[in-house]
Amino acid sequence: MKIPAVYQEQEQGKIMVRITEDLVRKRAEHNNLEISTLEEVSLHQQDIEKIENLDKWCRDLKILYLQSNLIPKIENVGRLKKLEYLNLALNNVERIENLENCEMLKKLDLTVNFVGELTSLENLKDLVHFRELYLTGNPCTEYEGYREYVVAILPQLEYLDGKAIEKSERIKATQDVGVLKGYIIEQQNRHKKKREKEKEEIRRHEEEKQKPKKGTNWYTDINGGDQKTTQDVGGSTNTESHDEHEEEEDEELLAEKEKKFWDEEVPFTPESRVAVHEHMKKLKEKEDQKNKAPPKQPRRLFTEDGRPLNVNEAKIDFTLTEDENENSFLLDVVCFKHMDTSLIDCDVQTNYVRVTLKGKMFQVCLPEEVNADSSTAKRSQITGHLLVTMPKAKPIIKPAKPKAENSEENKENKQKNRSRNTHEKLEVDKSVHKTVDIANIVKEKLDNIVPPLGHKPRQKAQERPNSENFVDDPDVPPLE
């Protein structure tokens, strides 16, 4: 069974935030989410109220950050033998304890806590590696002789509240440690009595808050606060609802309570710090609820009686036209040009057509029933538009047109029939003759040829004239 990262327990009306394994693993990203070999972990600002489980899961821890939480006690760290630095600043620690077994501890930060029992520091005197201690902002720092006492009982300490301890200061503090211890015990006893008185006042204050105020009818109010009853002069009762003013009254009441809470003077104690933290937490929850987005309304595609609705979740342009010649409807959907076709789904029904674009619905009602089985959807590769062709379910019967005697179609048909009965010869028009005329190629070339130098043109032979006694007999063949 998987445990949530941070779980809460209800304890005496108080919500506690606990350390869980998943929370530690999330903070161990630098260690590949492995916690058994984890050497450093930061759990600050998690509203943690108890140190637990870290000594079981993270035995190799060297650095542990737990600042800005609500931890009242140092516990469950004795098994961390390799722990070198423990940061518990801005918590509710009142006593230094359970650190005797942290053999390698070098630095302890308890800035702005509520440590009043200064003699509890003697638990750290056997830690030979302990070098730095921060107690700034604790009640014990106001004790007379505070620094001298700490320097005297912790001889291995080198820095106190960020200031180095000089050798002469240590010698003087060691000489006066007997007298200083008496002063410290007396002052911390006074502080202890003061804390008991503060706890008693806080307990009494809480009891007074829980008691009902005088003049209220909380034990006889049967209307549950939703209505108020007023009696008129005639003795009859009228019930009026205060829903209109309820929100304004609540805001005024909350503003008044808020001002009263912050104006109230209370001592700086662990209890007051927890109260402020709880108050801020409630305000944050209210603000989150106010800023929370309203729940998304369920998608409605049909009316209660089953009629389809026009829906355009994708907010795209479209055109629905009617083709009378083909007796069909044409739906042109302007789809995104670069959207993959696999993200588009088209569904044609008898009285509506639905196109789904990347999970968003687009639905259009049709004025007439169509034949869904014969419908087609095509997408343009250039524009990306989707064209849905939907033939109508009821075909339109049109009368046949009479043939006119002198119509152009009849004339064309007659001409075609005549051309079929007569034989026509194929003639080539010389004007459209596109081939090369090779008849005069040689002649043109001979006329344009220039004879070489020294060439004498050949002269034609001259025919001898016929004699006077020559008789042209047609029966005699010509000489070859």
Which pLDDT tens digit goes with each residue over 215-272? 544 444 444 444 444 444 344 444 444 454 555 667 778 788 778 777 777 777 888 8
Greatest alpha-carbon pair distance for the chain in Å reads: 186
Strand pairing of 376-379 and 386-391?
antiparallel
Summarised one tens digit per residue, pLDDT across range 8-37 is: 444 444 556 788 888 899 888 888 888 889
Q: What percentage of the chain carries pLDDT values higher than 90?
A: 40
Give the helix, strand, coil percentages of the chain, each rounded to 5: 30, 15, 50
- CA angle at residue 89 from 88 to 91, to 5 degrees? 80
Q: Which of 110-124, 217-231, 431-445 has the lowest mean pLDDT?
A: 217-231
pLDDT band for position 438 (50/70/90)? low
Q: Bigger pLDDT: 213 or 338? A: 338
Kindly report, residue by residue over 156-192, the tens digit of the pLDDT.
Answer: 999 999 999 999 999 999 998 888 899 999 999 999 9
Question: Which residues neighbour 174 within 8 Å (Cβ) at sequence distance 6 or greater?
Answer: 152, 155
Amino acid identity at 50: K
Find the angle CA(366)-CA(369)-CA(370) to the nearest 5 degrees. 95
Report yes or no: 101 and 83 within 8 Å, Cβ to Cβ. no
Chain position carrying tokens 């003049």:
215
Q: Given this model, what pLDDT does residue 226 score?
A: 44
Residues 353 and 363: beta-carbon distance below 8 Å: yes
**What is the tens place of the pLDDT at every residue in 301-315?**
888 888 899 999 888
As separate numbers, helices (DSSP H) first and strands (DSSP E) second, the chain gives 9, 19
Q: How confident is the model at residue 285 (pLDDT cuts 50, 70, 90)?
A: confident
Identify the bridge partners of residue 132 per DSSP, sorted by sequence position. 107, 159
Question: What band does 41 get if pLDDT is binned at 50, 70 and 90?
Answer: very high
Q: What average pLDDT does this structure show over 473-478?
A: 78
pLDDT at 31: 84
Q: φ and ψ at 420, to 5 degrees?
A: -70, -35
So what's the pLDDT on residue 221? 46
Do 313 and 361 meet the contact criterion of CB atoms below 8 Å apart?
yes
What is the arithmetic mean of pLDDT over 112-133?
93
Q: What is the average pLDDT score of the chain?
A: 80
Tokens of 285: 């929850």
What's the whole-model pTM score?
Answer: 0.55
Query: Who's near 371: CB < 8 A, 6+ residues apart?
Result: 390, 391, 392, 393
CA dist 277 and 441 (Å) reads 112
3-state secondary structure of 2: coil
CA atoms within 13 A on the CB side of 256: 6
Characterize the bridge pairing of strands 132-134 and 159-160: parallel
